Structure 1
Amino acid sequence: MASDVPDRIVAGRATDRRGDESPFALGLLLRRAHWRAAAVMGEALRPLGIELRHFAVLIVLVNQGPMMQRDLAAETGSDKAGIMRIVDDLERKGLAVRKAVPGDRRARAVHVTPQGVELFDAAHVAAKPLAERLAAELGPGESERLADLLARLVYPGGAEA
């Protein structure tokens, strides 16, 4: 059975290639950039025994303090089951702990441990040379400019989460 899809790419059709002019171009390039950045950052975290998903939770806990699992899920874009597995992993590794919430016998908040903060700091040291490699194709000031543009996309109107 012959395919109705042409063998060539028609102008305006979504691709993730340089020069794509489709309305999906920016999103597709951001997705590819995310994959590349995640791979590089994963490389920095691997020797520390954690994955990017674990580090994403540590970022929230270090920056915002103890938090309920449902709120961690919302902050990291995880679902309930996923965040539970991540917190379980962090607890097994001694990087986080669930503690009772005063005034609510059923609720537990997730806290980062001192070991978790140490690993968080070590991850930043390990990531520095890899982040430089990630931005190697950019010229002077372009990495900062890209970060500014991405922040404006993520936080429209200057609002930060």
Structure 2
Amino acid sequence: MTMSVPWSCSLTGGSWEHAIIVNVNDCPPLLRWPPGFIKEDTISQEHTTKSDLPSPSLAEDAGYLLARAGGRAISEFNRALQSYGMRRWQYTVLVVAADNGTRSQREIGLLLGIDPSAIVTIVDDLEREGLVRREPHPKDRRTRQIVATSAGRERLAKLRPVATTISEGLLHNLDEAERRTLLDLLLRIAHE
């Protein structure tokens, strides 16, 4: 039995923009959870290789590969968060607010690389749901700190395992040393 799973290579003739086909026996835990995440299909297994790229030179294009991997991660994460009524940026802002409740909206936007107008909307959405609140900054009355509420921390406790599952699924083809190396390199690139 083969299954069509929301992932990130083109599915010809299918209904999803981003999909990869896997054999159910090879599914990492991510692909078995949450319920309803996997759709049955009749298409055979595919794996991406250099010859599958639109152009062989893209195999050496770090920007293309990072964008492709990032797009895959975002797509999968948003899909998993959908049942919680959230998207990736909302989750990420909530994590920062919970881990460090002394950052201003502006600081969070700069830290995460979110446009100032977008961070306002994200914080507004989280605040409307009661997941964060804006508190006066102790040293600057014009600035508000973004702090996770108890409801926000509870939601985050439910979402962290989802994020872990997504990460494990993305990296399931790498051994532990490769995972650590990849994460170390991405950290250097992302926060240079």
TM-score between both structures, scaled by the size of structure 1: 0.74
Shift of 1:22: 8.6
Aligned residue number for residue 42 of structure 1 = 78
Distance verdict in 2 for CA 1:155–1:83, change over 3 Å: closer
Q: Aligned partners of 1:117 and 1:72: how far apart in 2?
A: 17
Q: How do 1:1-161 and structure 2 match up within 5 A?
A: 19-20=56-57, 25-102=61-138, 104-139=140-175, 141-155=177-191
Q: Contact 2:132/2:147 (CA < 8 Å) preserved in 1?
A: yes
Q: Aligned partners of 2:97 and 2:55: how far apart in 1?
A: 37
Q: Contact 1:99/1:110 (CA < 8 Å) preserved in 2?
A: yes
Question: What 5-or-longer segments of structure 2 have no aligned partner?
Answer: 1-52
Shift of 1:86: 0.5
TM-score between both structures, scaled by the size of structure 2: 0.63
> Could you tell me which amino acid in structure 1 is paired with residue 57 of structure 2?
D
> Could you tell me which amino acid in structure 2 is paired with residue 45 of structure 1?
L
Q: Aligned partners of 2:177 and 2:59: how far apart in 1?
A: 28
Q: CA RMSD in A?
A: 2.4
Structure possessing the higher radius of gyration over alpha carbons: 1
SS, match of residue 86 in structure 2: coil
Identity value in percent: 34
